[in-house]
Amino acid sequence: MRIGVLTAGGDCPGLNAVIRSVVHRAVVDHGDEVIGFEDGFKGLLEARYRKLDIDAVSGILARGGTILGSSRLERGKLREAAANADQLRRDLNLDALIPIGGEGTLTAAHMLSEAGIPVVGVPKTIDNDISATDRTFGFDTAVMVATEAIDRLKTTAESHQRVMVVEVMGRHAGWIALEAGIAGGAHGICIPERPFQIDRLCEMVRERFARGKKFAVVCVAEGARPAEGTMPYERGEIDAYGHERFTGIGNRLAVELEKRLGTEARQVILGHVQRGGTPTAYDRVLATRFGWHAVEAAHRGEFGNMTALRGNEIVMAPLADATSELKTVPQHRMDESEAVY
């Protein structure tokens, strides 16, 4: 078989572990040829690729980022590619394509699959918001980084009797904020799924100070919003890819808390720190299993699917299910923590 692999969208710890696993299973075990497209779908459309053998993936398991490079591609270009899918497949002589990516990538993969390209997707995102899989690799690493940040911020907050607002990633889903907030013992957690109540947050901080605990940490997802009309907030502009450019809810919240409480507040934006660096052991294992199963699915001809974790097992899920809606934090998970405002 000739298998193409690419990484698209925002990077994520564990991408290299998937690439390595695909090569190990396909080249070493099956005797396949594997080619890696550079810079995501751009490399596919421009036929920019290199052969991946065992040496090409040596030593990358623990490395963050992606050895293939990644990019976001405008939808228009992908539609064009889908319209010429037959030609593309013939030109590249592909028996299978394994795109590794988040919601945007899997939507593109679905489009190409519908147009006749034999696709097996692999889901990735630190946000953990892809339906049809219990977990995505990268999430565990991001939660670990954010948890460590909260731990560290608590000691400096306490020394200065401050409120620390830590902004984590999570455009549409609050998984990182929720789990890092719980693991780090944040006193307030704000997520996109529930518009937060600034009054209640202020009340919580006042109560803490009254009890002699003269500091607080609030963990806020970048996509979190205040409840309508409760505090000044302006939405960000929409970029060329249809994504909102966030205006910094962490900063807004810190300013507002300081004003209302008369207590010093600071904000920390973790941003891409959460996406960089070495993946945790959990993410390396999940990424490796996804790569192995993607190759097996290609050999069985189970195209139009993606690898998914259900419980402890890896199964194949239709790409259509994966991209139909985002997996956001359900009510019962919010109810489990008194810190969600």
Catalytic machinery residues = 127
Annotated binding residue 171: yes
- The answer to the question of residue 125 lying near ligand F6P (CB under 6 A) is yes
**Residue ranges in 248-277 that form contacts with ligand F6P under rule CB under 6 A:** 275
Q: Which stretch binds ligand F6P (CB under 6 A): 14-22, 119-127, 255-263, 297-305?
A: 119-127
Nearer to ligand F6P, 192 or 226 (CB): 192
Collapsed DSSP state (helix, strand, coil) of residue 267: strand
Nearer to ligand F6P, 113 or 125 (CB): 125
Annotated binding residue 25: no
d(CA 300, CA 61): 26
- The answer to the question of residue 170 lying near ligand F6P (CB under 6 A) is yes
Nearer to ligand F6P, 126 or 217 (CB): 126
Q: What angle is formed at CA 21 by the lines to CA 20 and CA 27, rounded to 5 degrees?
A: 85
Q: Given CA atoms 244, 248, 250, 255 in this order, what sign does their dihedral have?
A: negative
- The answer to the question of residue 102 lying near ligand F6P (CB under 6 A) is yes
d(CA 194, CA 235): 16
CB 121 within 8 A of CB 30: no
Nearer to ligand F6P, 130 or 257 (CB): 130
Annotated binding residue 273: yes
Q: Which residues pair with 216 in a beta bridge?
A: 163
- The answer to the question of residue 99 lying near ligand F6P (CB under 6 A) is no
Nearer to ligand F6P, 275 or 289 (CB): 275
Distances (CA, A) of 302 to 30, 110, 298: 17, 13, 6
Among candidate residues 270, 274, 245, the one with its CA nearest the CA of residue 164: 270
**Residue ranges in 127-146 that form contacts with ligand F6P under rule CB under 6 A:** 127
CB of 10 to ligand F6P, least distance (A): 4
User: What are the structure tokens assigned to 11, written together?
Assistant: 């990077």
Annotated binding residue 323: no
Among candidate residues 310, 287, 341, the one with its CA nearest the CA of residue 174: 341
- The answer to the question of residue 169 lying near ligand F6P (CB under 6 A) is yes
CB of 125 to ligand F6P, least distance (A): 5
Annotated binding residue 328: no
User: What are the structure tokens assigned to 26, written together?
Assistant: 């396909």
Annotated binding residue 102: yes
Annotated binding residue 72: yes
Annotated binding residue 103: yes
Residue whose pair of structure tokens reads 């036929």 in the numeric block? 47
Task: Give the list of residues 6+ apart from residue 90 with CB closer than 8 angstroms, or none.
Answer: none
Nearer to ligand F6P, 170 or 291 (CB): 170
Q: What angle is formed at CA 317 by the lines to CA 18 and CA 34, rounded to 5 degrees?
A: 35
DSSP 273: G
Collapsed DSSP state (helix, strand, coil) of residue 60: coil
Among candidate residues 180, 186, 153, the one with its CA nearest the CA of residue 339: 186
- The answer to the question of residue 147 lying near ligand F6P (CB under 6 A) is no
Orientation angle between helical segments 85-92 and 75-83, nearest 10 degrees? 80
CB of 308 to ligand F6P, least distance (A): 18
User: For 117, how many CA atoms within 13 A lie in the half-sphere containing its CB?
Assistant: 33
Per the annotation, binding residues are 10, 72-73, 102-105, 125-127, 162, 169-171, 222, 266, 272-275
Binding site for ligand F6P (CB under 6 A): 10, 102, 125-127, 169-171, 222, 275
Per the annotation, binding residues for ATP are 10, 72-73, 102-105
